[in-house]
Amino acid sequence: MLMLAAFASACAAGAAPASPSSAPAATAAPAETAEAAAANPPAQTDGSAQSGALELTLSELAQFNGKDGNPAYVAVDGVIYDVTNLPKWKNGEHNGYSAGQDLTDIIKNKSPHGVAKLKDVPVVGKLIEG
Ligand code: HEM
């Protein structure tokens, strides 16, 4: 029985030599990257991304909307900010706008405060094409 299991897993490993994860992430199909992103990040509910090294497409960013325990991220000028813990962004909502989006136009052209408000907001990464 043990032998059979070992043989089976060796076969399985040998049967798929080309790992799909070796494909460059930035050029992968949107559906694929969204699926990959959906598999892990929102599980971290404290919302504090550590390094600022995150790279998300617009469709991946959408799940970071501050709902259901997900962190709340917003993109401005290609930079992704973490607004999860800001009192004015409770549940990922702020003056009628939701996290999980590129809000460059809104903060620059509609908000009363402009981008200066982002000065002390933690940066978690950047927005990439996809
Ligand atoms: C029409 C849209 C918006 C309105 C009316 C608005 C209004 C306000 C007001 C009244 C405050 C609190 C007073 C202040 O700190 O100056 C505030 C805070 C803030 N806003 Fe906006 N805002 C808008 C859009 C945005 C957008 C799009 C972003 C980000 C992309 C943003 C980011 C912030 C941040 C980070 C704070 C500080 C929050 C805190 O420390 O709790 N705002 N906003």
Q: How far does residue 113's CA lie from ligand 1's centre (Å)?
A: 7
Chain centroid to Cα 41, Å, comes to 7
Give the pLDDT score at 107. Answer: 98
Q: Strand, coil or helix: what is 81?
A: strand
Q: How far apart are CA 94 and CA 68, in angstroms?
A: 17
For strands 79-82 and 93-94, give the pairing. Answer: unpaired
Counting the structural domains of the chain, the total is 1
Q: How far apart are CA 20 and CA 72, in angstroms?
A: 29
Give the pLDDT score at 50. Answer: 55
Pocket probe mutation, ligand 1, options 64, 95, 110, 123, max atoms within 8 Å of Cβ: 95
Pocket probe mutation, ligand 1, options 88, 101, 103, max atoms within 8 Å of Cβ: 88
Give the pLDDT score at 65. Answer: 98
Give the tokens for residue 116. Answer: 């200066």
| CATH number of the domain enclosing 98 | 3.10.120.10
Give the pLDDT score at 52. Answer: 81
Q: Which residues of the chain fall short of a pLDDT of 50?
A: 1-40, 42-48
Give the pLDDT score at 106. Answer: 98
Range of the domain at 69: 50-130
CB 76 within 8 A of CB 87: no
Ligand 1 neighbour 86 (Cβ under 6 A): yes
* 12, part of any domain: no
